[in-house]
Amino acid sequence: MDSRTRKYLAEIGRKGGRRSRRQLDAEQARTMVRVREARRAYRRFHAQCFWSSPPDLEIGADDVAWVAEQLKRHGGLEAWRKASQLCR
């Protein structure tokens, strides 16, 4: 990679890093993590626990409790453990 390209990429990377830094309080960060984990669990256990729901259903913060409930009701031990992590 020549020096001009390297300099250009370094500059746009620096700009993106400054813009993308946001301040989240602890509760918002925990909510984001729970939603991300619920989405992963939904995709992973879809055939076992969520077969009657569309595979591309968008899981949000309000759906985390529902995902955990379905994992506990219809899943095995692994799904139960994932649900207990979501309920913390």
pLDDT at 17: 58
Query: What's the pLDDT at 10?
Result: 82
- Each domain of the chain, given as residue ranges in start order, spans 27-86
The secondary structure of residue 59, as a DSSP letter, is: -
Count of Cβ atoms closer than 10 Å to residue 19 Cβ: 8
Joined tokens for residue 46? 């879809």
> What pLDDT is stored for residue 68 in this prediction?
97
Per-10-residue mean pLDDT of the chain, 88 residues long, equals: 84 66 81 96 96 95 97 96 92
pTM for this entry: 0.73
CA-nearest of 54, 58, 53 to 36 is: 58
Residue with tokens 């946001």: 22
Residue 22: the pLDDT is 67
pLDDT at 6: 85
